[in-house]
Structure 1
Amino acid sequence: MKDRIVQLINSEGLTSSKFADTIGVQRSSISHILSGRNKPSLDFVQKIRRSFPHVNIDWVIFGEGEMYTSQEPTNLFENETIQFEKEEETPNITPQPPKLKKESPTKPVNQPESFSEMNVFVPGKQIEKVVVFYTDKTFREYNPS
């Protein structure tokens, strides 16, 4: 399975670090799997399946069939042309700036130093979804269910 994971990483044009980030595992986990120290867990395989739905999971696990479930390009936007509709001409209206509500100054909000310091657990409430935004303008959604 390790060799097929390497093949998948290369086919998707990723580094092992970017692959780890994409499927949501620690980079060391990928390193341990690729070095042969650890074998991929069921959770690891499920993360591959969620992150790469176009990959044939039977191929990943057993080496059966083709790598991809369809002949679609691996880059989902590779063969697409984006067309924009021409905007209709609007009458010459001077846009008005939005009216801002003036508020009295308040004390600055104390923001936590790190995620672990945030008190996100509220008694009697369940978390439905967590969205994490990264500095490279990407994001991941986590659903606990």
Structure 2
Amino acid sequence: MVNIDDFVKRLEVILDYYGLNASAFADKIGVQRSSMSHLLSGRNKPSLDFVLKILDVFPDVDLYWILNGKGSFPKKEDEPKNDASAVIGENEKVSPPISLSDNFNSADLFSQIDTVEDIKEEKRNLFETKSSNVVSNEDEIEKIVFFYKNGTFKIYIP
């Protein structure tokens, strides 16, 4: 949890570093001046959007420093980046990123990717199931659209 008093102190360090007052800082990051005032007075807690705007406009600000006081300000070039590669040990393996066009077998995004054979089997089973509902042989399928829960879709034209 972020300690508000400490966060405000670190925010004041940023203001001093860049020589900005609260109003100019609020204008620069694109937030209302009143929200900046409420934050500095301790009335409100910083939102994720507020913190991300600071990081976007001021690249010298380190995320972990502004939230927890760990790290340094301004960022040092020789410090390791705060990403997954800095946290993962040497013996640990990382799987490659998954493309949005990949097919998923289950509802969540963290499941294993289907193999080509599994996908073909699903298509065959789906077609066999749906073909029993066809009323006449004159109706032809124009196209089949599969919508996946990860937001992607595939169009098949038989």
TM-score (norm 2): 0.43
TM-score by length of 1: 0.47
Q: Point out the structure with the larger helix share.
A: 2
